């Protein structure tokens, strides 16, 4: 069995700063990590490989420095790493990204063995769109299984897979076919720690580096900014509210009482509504 896991190297979002004048993101000095959601996808892929045999190839698209994340994934246990990197990919939106990644996955299939399952995290913590997974899936014409919390069973002979999938009101239990693309929910498994042997091997391992041409991208016009139907017109900071919060002064009474007085003074109707709500408990 051959599984491809798509990961993304993302800035640790808690540490991003914005340039006060140009309103651009200051990436310098911001540590990068593997998108945390992708780690659950990687772990699930490794579990299937451990159970059914085969290989896990980890794939990312990004600048040359994204190699760091691939080595981390090798340390955790992936068999092979592919870095798709080319200046023509710069500025890709989710549609252009899915085009390039799908091309790379086809190439991975023809080079290293047919792909049975593609895994990825439910979304990234920087873009937050959850669109690239479905995008890759449609480009490859695979079956789409998003927000998966559990892969319950897999039958390589019958080419079927059963998963539990999160929906708004509950859990769908689905049976589908291979090849499929799965986006994993967070917290679905305990991501393993890399072993010392893996770490040593990862440091020495060759990361496969492909340009657009190497990956067999057919139409460069469908990549990068040029291939992106969405265009960012304006980036701006949220407007500050005109007034700052009114500071509650506890003049001679307990602060809790003073706060409640202020709340009911500002929203007189709330008192009755809260009474109704509280009565229910």
Cis status, amide bond into 179, omega within 30 of 0: yes
Distance of CA 211 to the CA centre of its chain: 23
Stretch that binds another protein, among 59-67, 106-114, 145-153, 188-196 (CB under 8 A): 145-153
> Within 202-221, which residues bind another protein (CB under 8 A)?
213-214, 220-221
Q: Which of 20, 240, 252, 268 binds another protein (CB under 8 A)?
A: 240
Q: Does 252 bind another protein (CB under 8 A)?
A: no
Q: Would you call 280 exposed, middle or buried from its count of C-beta atoms within 10 A (0-12, 13-18, 19+)? A: exposed
Q: Which of 79, 144, 198, 201 binds another protein (CB under 8 A)?
A: 144
Q: Which is nearer to another protein, 199 or 220 (CB)?
A: 220
In the numeric block, which tokens belong to residue 11?
């800035």
Q: Does 173 bind another protein (CB under 8 A)?
A: yes
Stretch that binds another protein, among 69-77, 111-119, 196-204, 251-259 (CB under 8 A): 251-259
Q: Would you call 174 exposed, middle or buried from its count of C-beta atoms within 10 A (0-12, 13-18, 19+)? A: middle
For 39, 165, 280, the CA distances from 34, given in Å and listed in that order, are 7, 23, 46
Q: Which of 32, 131, 198, 201 binds another protein (CB under 8 A)?
A: 131
CB 198, min distance to another protein, A: 26
Q: Which is nearer to another protein, 28 or 275 (CB)?
A: 275
The DSSP code for 226 is G
> Within 101-130, which residues bind another protein (CB under 8 A)?
125-130
Q: Which of 21, 196, 245, 251 binds another protein (CB under 8 A)?
A: 245
Q: Does 63 bind another protein (CB under 8 A)?
A: no
Closest C-alpha among 152, 146, 96, 140 to residue 116: 140
Q: Which residues of 89-111 are buried (b: 16+ CB within 10 A; e: fewer)?
A: beebbbbbbbbbbbbbbbbbbee
CB 12, min distance to another protein, A: 9
Q: Which is nearer to another protein, 197 or 266 (CB)?
A: 266
Q: Which residue has the tokens 């069973």?
A: 153
Q: Which of 23, 65, 110, 195 binds another protein (CB under 8 A)?
A: 23
Q: Does 64 bind another protein (CB under 8 A)?
A: no
């Amino acid at each position: 069995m051959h599984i491809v896991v798509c990961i993304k190297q993302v800035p640790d979002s808690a540490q991003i700063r914005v340039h006060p004048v140009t309103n651009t993101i200051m990436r310098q000095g911001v540590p990068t990590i593997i998108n945390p959601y992708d780690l659950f996808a990687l772990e699930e892929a490794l579990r299937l490989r451990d159970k059914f045999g085969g290989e896990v190839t980890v794939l990312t698209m990004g600048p040359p420095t994204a190699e760091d994340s691939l080595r981390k994934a090798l340390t955790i246990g992936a068999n092979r790493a592919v870095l798709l990197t080319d200046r023509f990919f710069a500025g890709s939106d989710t549609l252009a990204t899915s085009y390039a990644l799908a091309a790379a996955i086809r190439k991975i299939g023809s080079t290293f063995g047919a792909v049975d399952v593609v895994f990825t995290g439910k979304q990234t913590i920087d873009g937050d769109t959850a669109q690239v997974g479905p995008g890759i899936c449609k480009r490859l014409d695979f079956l789409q299984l998003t927000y998966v919390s559990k892969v319950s069973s897999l039958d390589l002979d019958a080419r079927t897979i059963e998963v539990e999938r999160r929906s708004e009101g509950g859990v769908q239990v689905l049976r589908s076919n291979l090849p499929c693309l799965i986006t994993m929910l967070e917290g679905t498994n305990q991501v393993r720690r890399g072993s010392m042997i893996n770490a040593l091997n990862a440091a020495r391992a060759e990361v496969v580096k492909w340009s657009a041409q190497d990956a067999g991208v057919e139409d460069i016009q469908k990549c990068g900014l040029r291939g992106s139907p969405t265009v960012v017109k304006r980036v701006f900071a949220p407007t500050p509210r005109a007034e700052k919060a009114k500071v509650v002064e506890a003049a001679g009474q307990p602060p809790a009482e003073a706060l409640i007085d202020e709340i009911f003074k500002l929203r007189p109707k709330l008192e009755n509504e809260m009474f109704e709500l509280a009565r229910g408990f």
